[in-house]
Amino acid sequence: MTQISSNKAAEILWRKRLAQGRLSALPADCKPATLDEGYAVQDAMATLAGQPIFGWKIAATSTAGQKHIGVTEPLAGRLFADFVLRDGASLPAAPLQMRVIEAEFAFRMARDLDTRAAVYEMDEVCAAIADLHLAIEIPDARFEPFDNIGPAQIAADDAFAAWFVLGSKVEGWANLDLPTQPVRVWKNGKVAAEGTGANALGDPRLALTWLANERSKRGGGLKAGEIITTGTCITPLEIAPGDAIVAEFTGLGRVSVTLT
């Protein structure tokens, strides 16, 4: 894949994202065939977008999630600043294709984790964390259908990143047992989903460590100030216009979004 074809694919996907439109597949002359080519398209999209990178998301951090979209490993995507919502915000649901929400733990980096040959261990990655936040991710795909397009096109489509709700900061997070941390999501006043932090690669900190090494391998690393959301703690919950969603992290706080 040439830089010209990567740029073409990136422009198609970014325009669809802004318009909340859909396509069945990328044209043959700019369709990524490998994961490396898919990430090259995503890199080109970041340049094309011309807006700050707020941070990163990790898709497919559970076996069920990987099976659902036909992949065998997690995938990384960028969170763009214009798609970040405040806690309690409203979002139109009608243009969404996937129509699911995910309750997640998100870390803010205190310092850079640069590209290097040595593997990052979890303790070193945790030492580079500034804060832990509660979060909701509302992923979406520019492909229709999206569950059979393969990992290369998923990576090109920013790992299905779309909207992100950043919630409150968690005090004393370093002493928490995140894998066993209960998470409950309420929809319209009723409990609709339950899970734990272990759903994210066994531990949200392990998911973050995976991303640190993935970004080290692919170039760029992680930067101070970036927010890293580490994968859903619940089975993704279906949503529809009119739904009021509250993600409750027992003993830690809540984060919410309303679908209009």
Q: What is the pTM of this model?
A: 0.96
Q: How far apart are CA 213 and CA 11, in angstroms?
A: 28
Residue numbers of the chain with a pLDDT score lower than 70: none
pLDDT at 204: 98
- Determine the pLDDT at residue 65: 84
Topology of domain 55-259, per CATH? Fumarylacetoacetate hydrolase; domain 2 (3.90.850)
Predicted confidence at residue 34, as pLDDT, reads: 97
Note the pLDDT of residue 64. Answer: 79
Please name the helix (run of DSSP H) or strand (run of DSSP E) that holds residue 79, with its range, or none: strand 75-80
H helical segments located in the chain: 3-19, 35-49, 63-69, 122-127, 150-156, 204-218
pLDDT of residue 127: 98
- The pLDDT, as a whole number, for residue 7 is 98
The string of pLDDT tens digits covering residues 12-44 is: 999 999 999 999 999 999 999 999 999 999 999
Six-digit token string for 180:
């066993």
